[in-house]
Amino acid sequence: GKPICECYSCYTGTDCSLFSPNCPADVDSGDPLFLEPFWMQNAASSAVVTSGWHRMSYIFPNQSFISVELEKNIRKIHAISKNAITDGRYCCCAFGSTQLLNAAVYALSMDSYPAAKVVARIPYYSFYKFQTEFLQTQHYEFEGDSSLLKNKSDIIGDVVEFVTSPNNPDGNLRSPVLKGPNVKLIYDRAYYWPHYTAIPAPADEDLMIFTISKLTGHAGSRFGWAIVKDVKVYEKMMEYIGLADMGISKDAQLRALTLLKVVGEGDGKQLFNFAHQILRDRWKKLSQIFSLSKRFSLQRVPTQYCTFFERAREPSPAYAWVKCKRKEKNCTEVFKVAKIIGRPGSRFFVGERYVRLSLLKGQHDFDMLILRLKELVSQEYEAS
């Protein structure tokens, strides 16, 4: 019979070839489909076939939840990309980095009384708040913006600060806001790959979280990992994953292993070169359009020396973080009217004057964004 075709949003018809001219550019989500062409080019070597009898057990032969081979390959990719030190550290795998966010909060606040305050500096990724509140225990509570606790006297009891570097939404490399003996840090390093940012030095923090979603683009496989210095914190995180889910999917691990092996082939630079090139070109196109506008401004992302590329590297952030400079109350609405669907600034706990546009989606979504943006910015010229 005929294959069932799932069309991308702007296309319809039995073979998805009919383009709808009124279609909006949907650049809301951080779905990393810009990497799909890389995996099409590497279709055979990245394929996973599993026989029915394979990996049926809860555990691996060495009694562990995690494949030794996979862990080896994770460390190898960090060494190739020069983005993190993993020697002598523990590696804790989970269902996406999402599961690790709370596993880390749990591990760092086990002995906290009164409840540890969990904070992140605005603008920040909404899951820190939503998940911490959803899974609240007596050991921790979500407090909000780190900057509100900046004075030492504001810190009573333990504090857990999420440090997102590069940051979602603005792509900036960040340092913690808070310091002190009772401040514990969770570094969310989801975007600390040569695709998105210069790598000035390998990250070397006590607790760093990574994800395959932004490395290979396989967000649907739900696989992430944490690199952890302290054995007690590592054990607590493993306890969390054991109790919450009795380990993680062996199928996801097999897929992750296969993908990482492809990434590590040859000089190991193929994927990084590919991803950087696409995002750099997208950023260039986007900046050019915004440079013609007086109404909107883009975040500044510096050209910085990168130890991976061994040169100063052009910016290539995952998202455009746009500000409406006129007194328009709702920036997201302005874009929506222009048929561009972005994520509102309020989702990052800053006002309505900001909107985030994803640069990670497939080519058709990006092309649509450029088309609609040109229309929007040219209105400024028609009006004057």
CB of residue 25 to ligand PMP, shortest distance in Å: 19
Which one, 32 or 315, has the nearer CB to ligand PMP?
32
CB of residue 169 to ligand PMP, shortest distance in Å: 9
59 vs 66: CA distance, rounded Å:
8
* x-or-dash string of contact with ligand PMP, 172-191, rule CB under 6 A: ----------------x-x-
Does 207 contact ligand PMP by CB under 6 A?
A: no
Which one, 93 or 334, has the nearer CB to ligand PMP?
93
Does 30 contact ligand PMP by CB under 6 A?
A: yes
Whether 248 contacts 93, CB under 8 Å: yes
Which one, 212 or 376, has the nearer CB to ligand PMP?
212
Does 217 contact ligand PMP by CB under 6 A?
A: no
Number of residues in contact with ligand PMP under rule CB under 6 A: 13
| Residue (of 71, 72, 137) closest to 107 by Cα position | 137
Does 102 contact ligand PMP by CB under 6 A?
A: no
Strand pairing class (159-164; 183-188): parallel
CB of residue 52 to ligand PMP, shortest distance in Å: 28
**Amino acid at position 45, single letter:** S
Which one, 217 or 315, has the nearer CB to ligand PMP?
217
Q: Provide the 10 A C-beta neighbour count for residue 110.
A: 16
Which one, 86 or 97, has the nearer CB to ligand PMP?
97
Give residues with Cβ within 8 angstroms of 264, minimum separation 6.
73, 76, 77, 80
Does 94 contact ligand PMP by CB under 6 A?
A: no
Which one, 97 or 253, has the nearer CB to ligand PMP?
97
Of the candidate residues 168, 253, 293, 358, the single one contacting ligand PMP (CB under 6 A)? 168
Which one, 25 or 252, has the nearer CB to ligand PMP?
252
CB of residue 14 to ligand PMP, shortest distance in Å: 33
Q: Quickly tell me which residue has 């409840």 as its tokens.
A: 115
Of the candidate residues 66, 149, 203, 219, the single one contacting ligand PMP (CB under 6 A)? 219
Of 19-27, 73-81, 90-98, 296-304, the window that binds ligand PMP (rule: CB under 6 A) is 90-98
Does 132 contact ligand PMP by CB under 6 A?
A: no
Q: Quickly tell me which residue has 């069932």 as its tokens.
A: 4
Which residue has the closest beta carbon to ligand PMP?
96
Does 96 contact ligand PMP by CB under 6 A?
A: yes
Residue ranges in contact with ligand PMP by CB under 6 A: 30, 96-98, 125, 164, 168, 188, 190, 211, 213, 219, 224
